[in-house]
């Protein structure tokens, strides 16, 4: 994902009026949905029914930790206000017009995949190369740089780099205690093994790779519970993608790249929702549908429903 697209998405997240009206819950889901479209789709469009792509149920469960029906309701809400494009009949999910790549960008990507434009003059010799017209050609009888001089020059250039590396205080970086890593590994390791679809009683593999994930997560400031949620969610999502594609993952190390990236980005899933929150979200869904139905009919009265109203009602 390009930095420019990330910046535009974050700017839209913070300033778009239609998005701000939806409230914090729907705003956060929208931003993560945009990231999922870019990660799994192509040219700003994700085909949920294509081979290798995550299903709507998979996205709802592992990416957003929502019910499939609840995610469908959110998608319809976003589509009504043109915050995304969504066609339930075809399973196509796309970026909004203001974030979608232009035709020129798509053409550039296709040309780049083909190796770029061919040279106008493929038979270019040094004498015919226009880039060499101002270059000095070697003169017979000239002296070359001696090996001794070349080595001394390289050593001189390496010295400041080595000195700079010595000045970097690597020890200053707080490293988690061995006891904390062991405690996290004892919990995260078996859970990661199970999330990948392995059976500890039958499968011969091991979950040693999870120890490094625990160390990296603790070093980045994550708690043991956050590491657990991150690792399990990321492994489950990748395992589901590979299963849909008909591929078999034979070791836990296969998930290392995805988990490491998630730790670096601190992509920690939300904590499991309480029964009261699930009830409040269902009530919010009904209220949101009624709200947008009234707006579609021309009734602009009332304010947009907020999850806090229904959480307070459940608590009371």
Question: What tens-digit pLDDT sequence spans the chain (316 residues)?
Answer: 566 777 788 888 888 888 888 888 888 889 888 888 888 888 888 888 887 788 888 888 888 888 888 888 899 999 888 899 998 888 898 998 888 876 665 555 555 555 555 566 555 565 555 555 555 555 555 555 555 555 554 444 444 443 433 333 333 345 788 899 999 999 998 888 888 888 766 655 678 889 999 999 999 899 999 999 999 999 999 998 988 888 888 888 889 999 999 999 888 887 777 778 778 888 888 888 888 778 777 787 778 888 888 877 655 5
Q: Which residues pair with 85 in a beta bridge?
A: 94
Query: Which DSSP symbol is given to 274?
Result: P
Q: Which CATH class is domain 1-115?
A: mainly alpha
pLDDT value at residue 23: 81
For residue 84, which of 138, 140, 124, 26 has the smallest C-alpha distance? 26
Please give the distance of CA 159 from its chain centroid, rounded to a whole number: 39
Residue 188 has a pLDDT of 92
Residue 136 is predicted with a pLDDT of 56
pLDDT number for residue 217: 92
At 185 the pLDDT is 92
147: tokens are 């090996």
What are the domain boundaries of the chain?
1-115, 178-265, 275-316
* This prediction's pTM: 0.38
Reported for 98-102, long-range contacts at CB under 8 A and 24+ positions apart, including other chains, are 98/8, 98/12, 99/5, 99/8, 99/9, 99/12, 99/34, 99/44, 100/44, 101/43, 101/44
The rounded distance, in Å, linking the Cα atoms of 171 and 193 is 32
Closest CA to 256 of 224, 223, 214, 209: 209
């Amino acid at each position: 994902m390009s930095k420019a697209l990330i910046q535009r998405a974050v700017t839209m997240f913070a300033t778009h009026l239609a998005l701000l009206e939806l409230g914090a819950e729907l705003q956060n889901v929208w931003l993560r949905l945009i990231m999922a479209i870019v990660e799994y789709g192509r040219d700003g469009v994700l085909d949920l029914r294509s081979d290798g792509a995550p299903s709507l149920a998979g996205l709802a469960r592992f990416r957003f930790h929502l019910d499939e029906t609840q995610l469908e309701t959110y998608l319809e809400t976003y589509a009504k206000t043109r915050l995304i494009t969504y066609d339930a009949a075809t399973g196509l999910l796309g970026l909004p017009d203001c974030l979608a790549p232009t035709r020129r960008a798509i053409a550039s990507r296709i040309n780049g995949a083909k190796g770029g434009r061919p040279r106008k003059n493929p038979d270019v010799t040094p004498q015919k190369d226009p880039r060499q017209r101002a270059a000095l050609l070697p003169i017979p009888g000239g002296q070359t740089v001696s090996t001794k001089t070349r080595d001394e020059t390289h050593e001189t250039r390496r010295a400041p780099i080595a000195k700079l590396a010595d000045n970097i205080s690597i020890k200053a970086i707080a490293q988690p205690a061995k006891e904390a890593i062991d405690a996290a590994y004892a919990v995260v390791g078996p859970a990661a093994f199970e999330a990948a679809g392995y059976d500890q009683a039958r499968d011969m593999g091991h979950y040693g790779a999870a120890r490094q994930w625990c160390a990296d997560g603790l070093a980045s400031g994550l708690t043991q519970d956050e590491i657990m949620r991150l690792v399990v969610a990321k492994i489950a999502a990748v395992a589901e993608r590979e299963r849909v594609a008909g591929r078999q993952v034979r070791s836990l190390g296969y998930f290392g790249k995805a988990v490491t990236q998630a730790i670096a980005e601190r992509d920690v899933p939300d904590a499991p929702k309480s029964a009261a929150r699930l009830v409040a979200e269902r009530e919010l869904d009904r209220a949101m549908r009624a709200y947008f139905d009234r707006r579609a009919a021309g009734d602009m009265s009332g304010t947009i429903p907020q999850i806090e109203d229904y959480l307070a009602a459940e608590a009371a």
